[in-house]
C-alpha cells in the first residue's frame, strides 16, 4: 500500500545552485517583460496567449485542434463532425478556465485540495459527455470521469502504477502541506512550482484530465507568486520538447538510486533534472514572448504589413498612424483619428471604420476608445511563430 512517504522527496535538497540560478533568471526576465507593455495592450494580448496556451496544452495530450477551429469555437461556430466538435469544446473549456484564473476568480488557494478539485471540476463541466469516459485497457470497461471528484479506480500511466484510490486524500494533504507551506522562501516556492508539477502527475488524482489540470495548476501557481502572467505560457515550451518533457516526467517516477540520490523513496536526481527542465522552459518562453511582443519590433512588423496592404489597396491611406497609436498608447479616442491621419473628419472616420471592420482595431461601442485587435489572418505576420496558423 502506498503511503505519504512514497512520494518523497517533494522538493530537491536546499543549496541546488543550478535551480537557484534558474529561479533568479526567471524572476528577472518575467519582471522586465511585464513592465514593458502598456496595460491595454497587455490585456488584449492576454486573450491571444490563452488561445495559444490551450492549443499547446491540448497538443501535449495528442489532441491537435487547429487554431482556426479553436477560434471558431470561441465564436460558437462548431463543426458538424462530432469528433472535431468535441475537441473544439475541450479547447474552449481550457481557455475559459484559464481566463478565470487570470481574472483572479479562483475561489480557493491554488495549493489546496479545494483548488485542485476546482480546476478539474471547472474544466470537466465544460466538456462534452463523450470525453468524460475512459476505457479500462484490460477489461474494456467504460468508466466515468466525474468533474471535481478523485478517482475511485486503479490506473496505470505508462509504466507508472498510480497510487491506490484509498490513499489519494492523504497524498494530496501532504502535497498541499509541503507546497503551500508559508515557511518556504520565494526561491523555494518557485522550485516548488516545478516539483509539484511532477508530483501531481505522479499522484494522478483523477480518472482523466490530469495533464490539463497539472498545467493549469502550474500556471495558477506562477501567477499567485507574481511571476506568471497571461502574457506567456510554459505549455508552449513543454509541447515543443514534448518527448523530453515526458521522458523527464517518467525518469522522476523512478526509485532512489543509492545513498547519493537523496533520502526519499523516489530519485532526487530525477526530480532535480525535471525541475531544471521546467524552469528553463519557463525562461525560454518568457524570452520568446518578450522578443515577439517588444513594442518597437511589433510596430516594425505591423508597419511592413500595413504598407503592403495599402499598396494592394486593401487598406486606405492613413491607416498606419492609427495602428501605430494603438501599439504605443494602448488605446485612443475616436476623435483623435483626425489629428492622427491629418484628414478631414469624414475621411478620417472612413479610415478608422475600415480598420475596425477588418478587426485590426477594436471598439466595443460607437463611443468607446479604440485599441489594437488581433484577427486570426494577421497573427502570423504580426506575431510570427506564436502558433501554426495555416492548414
In CATH, what number is assigned to the domain containing residue 186?
Answer: 1.10.3290.10
> According to the model, what pLDDT value does residue 388 have?
64
Clarify whether residues 302 and 288 are in a common domain.
Answer: no
Clarify whether residues 175 and 148 are in a common domain.
Answer: yes
- CA 371/CA 362 separation, integer angstroms: 5
Report in angstroms the alpha-carbon separations of 210 from 123, 159, 213, 220. Answer: 11, 16, 5, 15
Let me know if residue 387 belongs to a domain.
no
pLDDT at residue 19 above 80? yes
Let me know if residue 59 belongs to a domain.
yes
Cβ neighbours of residue 65 closer than 8 Å, sequence gap 6 or more: 55, 58, 84, 87, 88, 90, 91
Q: How many domains does the chain have?
A: 2
Let me know if residue 173 belongs to a domain.
yes
> According to the model, what pLDDT value does residue 249 have?
97
pLDDT at residue 153 above 60? yes
Q: Which tops the pLDDT comparison, 36 or 264? A: 264
- CATH assignment at residue 309: 1.10.10.10
Q: Which tops the pLDDT comparison, 125 or 53? A: 125
Residue that finishes a domain, picked among 276, 293, 310: 293
pLDDT at residue 391 above 50? no
pLDDT at residue 140 above 50? yes
Let me know if residue 388 belongs to a domain.
no
Average pLDDT of the residues in 51-62 = 89
User: H helices within the chain, ranges in order?
Assistant: 17-34, 39-60, 67-74, 82-102, 113-124, 168-179, 186-203, 210-224, 234-240, 242-251, 268-293, 295-311, 319-329, 337-341, 345-358, 376-382
Confidence of residue 287 (pLDDT cuts 50, 70, 90): very high
Average pLDDT of the residues in 158-175 = 95
> According to the model, what pLDDT value does residue 385 have?
87
Region at 11 (left for phi over 0; alpha for psi -120 to 50; beta for the rest):
beta
Clarify whether residues 287 and 340 are in a common domain.
Answer: no
Residue that finishes a domain, picked among 293, 314, 329: 293
Domain assignment of residue 320, given as a range: 295-382
**C-beta of residue 233 within 8 angstroms of C-beta of residue 220:** no
Clarify whether residues 312 and 197 are in a common domain.
Answer: no
**C-beta of residue 272 within 8 angstroms of C-beta of residue 16:** yes
pLDDT at residue 390 above 60? no
> According to the model, what pLDDT value does residue 223 have?
95
Residue that finishes a domain, picked among 293, 310, 328: 293
Lowest mean pLDDT among 100-104, 118-122, 254-258, 311-315: 254-258
Amino acid at each position: 500500500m502506498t503511503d505519504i512517504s512514497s512520494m518523497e522527496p517533494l522538493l530537491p535538497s536546499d543549496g541546488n545552485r543550478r535551480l537557484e540560478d534558474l529561479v533568479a533568471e526567471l524572476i528577472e526576465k518575467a519582471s522586465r517583460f511585464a513592465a514593458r507593455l502598456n496595460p491595454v495592450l497587455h490585456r488584449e494580448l492576454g486573450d491571444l496567449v490563452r488561445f495559444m496556451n490551450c492549443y499547446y496544452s491540448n497538443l501535449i495530450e495528442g489532441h491537435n485542434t487547429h487554431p482556426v477551429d479553436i477560434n471558431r469555437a470561441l465564436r460558437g461556430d462548431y463543426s458538424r463532425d462530432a469528433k472535431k466538435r468535441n475537441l473544439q469544446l475541450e479547447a474552449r473549456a481550457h481557455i475559459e478556465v484559464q481566463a478565470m484564473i487570470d481574472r483572479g476568480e479562483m475561489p480557493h488557494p491554488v495549493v489546496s485540495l479545494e483548488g485542485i478539485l476546482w480546476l478539474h471540476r471547472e474544466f470537466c463541466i465544460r466538456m462534452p459527455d463523450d470525453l468524460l469516459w475512459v476505457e479500462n485497457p484490460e477489461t474494456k470497461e467504460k468508466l466515468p470521469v466525474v468533474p471535481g471528484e478523485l478517482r475511485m479506480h486503479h490506473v496505470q500511466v505508462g509504466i507508472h502504477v498510480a497510487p491506490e484510490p484509498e490513499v489519494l486524500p492523504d497524498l494530496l494533504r501532504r502535497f498541499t502541506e509541503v507546497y503551500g507551506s508559508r515557511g518556504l522562501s520565494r526561491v523555494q516556492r518557485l522550485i516548488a512550482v516545478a516539483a509539484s508539477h511532477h508530483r501531481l502527475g505522479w499522484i494522478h488524482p483523477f480518472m482523466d484530465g490530469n495533464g490539463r489540470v497539472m498545467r493549469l495548476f502550474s500556471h495558477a501557481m506562477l501567477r499567485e507568486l507574481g511571476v506568471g502572467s497571461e502574457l506567456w505560457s510554459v505549455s508552449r515550451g513543454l509541447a515543443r520538447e514534448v518527448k523530453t518533457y515526458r521522458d523527464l516526467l517518467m525518469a522522476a517516477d523512478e526509485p532512489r538510486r543509492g545513498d547519493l540520490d537523496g533520502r526519499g523513496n523516489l530519485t532526487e536526481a530525477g526530480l532535480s533534472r525535471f525541475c531544471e527542465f521546467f524552469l528553463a522552459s519557463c525562461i525560454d518562453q518568457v524570452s520568446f514572448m518578450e522578443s515577439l511582443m517588444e513594442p518597437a519590433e511589433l510596430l516594425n512588423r505591423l508597419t511592413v504589413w500595413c504598407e503592403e496592404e495599402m499598396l494592394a489597396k486593401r487598406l486606405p491611406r492613413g491607416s498606419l498612424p492609427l495602428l501605430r497609436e494603438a501599439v504605443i498608447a494602448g488605446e485612443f479616442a475616436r476623435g483623435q483619428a483626425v489629428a492622427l491621419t491629418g484628414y478631414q473628419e469624414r475621411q478620417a472616420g472612413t479610415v478608422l471604420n475600415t480598420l475596425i471592420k477588418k478587426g485590426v482595431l477594436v471598439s466595443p461601442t460607437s463611443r468607446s476608445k479604440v485599441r489594437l485587435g488581433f484577427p486570426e489572418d494577421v497573427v502570423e505576420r504580426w506575431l510570427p511563430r506564436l502558433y501554426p496558423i495555416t492548414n
